[in-house]
Amino acid sequence: MDRTTLRLMPDYTAEWPLWDGGMVTPSDLGLSDGLAAELQAWQRFFDAHFHWDGGWDSPAAQRCFDDRAHRLHRAVQAELPDVDVELDLWTTPGSGGAERRGPLALQRLSPARPLSAHGAAAAGNRCPAPR
């Protein structure tokens, strides 16, 4: 039996950063209310700090976004153990860049990958406030 694949990915003005062909909601997937709130906050952070034409408004915002992405990826995977959760950081240079050219760059990450391996968390930076 094939496993279901879910994509964790922000998109402009999307309500939720969860995709299975089209956008799906945390309640569609049976995710906890706490994780749903974190996912929505992450999507709103994207909307507040990433401009379609200019990219991230600061390096700190990008680091914060990426750090949260990796943590959320692990959390969604933990709540959906029978689903392959793919993290799509198309907004991050080296992961598809700030443009969508050809197939999206997907990162399959190990749940064991430490958060400290990523920018803002490793540097102890706080996330910028929304504009």
Give the model confidence (pLDDT) of 49-72 as tens digits: 999 888 999 999 999 999 999 999
How high is the pLDDT of residue 108?
37
pLDDT band, residue 95 (cuts 50/70/90): low
Q: Phi-psi bin for 55: left (phi > 0), alpha (psi -120 to 50), beta?
A: left
Q: What total of structural domains would you count in the chain? A: 1
Residue 125 has pLDDT above 70, yes or no: no
pLDDT band, residue 128 (cuts 50/70/90): low
What is the rounded CA–CA span in Å between residue 9 and residue 76? 12
Q: Is residue 37 part of a domain?
A: yes
* Two structure tokens written together for 13: 């003005």
* pLDDT, mean over the chain: 78
Q: Is residue 49 part of a domain?
A: yes
- Report which of 87, 88, 91 is spatially closest to residue 61, judged by C-alpha positions: 91
Q: Is residue 44 part of a domain?
A: yes
The alpha carbon of 103 is separated from its chain's Cα centroid by a whole number of angstroms, namely 17
How high is the pLDDT of residue 93?
66
What is the rounded CA–CA span in Å between residue 130 and residue 50? 11
H or E stretch at 85? strand 83-87
List the domain range (segments joined by +) for residue 61: 4-123
| pTM of the complete model beyond 0.85 | no
H or E stretch at 86? strand 83-87
Q: Is residue 77 part of a domain?
A: yes
**Beta strands at 50-51 and 22-23: parallel, antiparallel or unpaired:** unpaired
How high is the pLDDT of residue 2?
61
Residue 44 has pLDDT above 70, yes or no: yes
Q: Is residue 59 part of a domain?
A: yes
Q: Is residue 130 part of a domain?
A: no
Which residues lie across from 4 on neighbouring strands? Answer: 83
Better-predicted residue by pLDDT, 131 or 101: 131
Contact 44, 56 (CB under 8 A): no
Better-predicted residue by pLDDT, 126 or 78: 78
Question: Helix (H, G, I), strand (E, B), or coil: what is residue 47?
Answer: helix
* Two structure tokens written together for 40: 């929505």
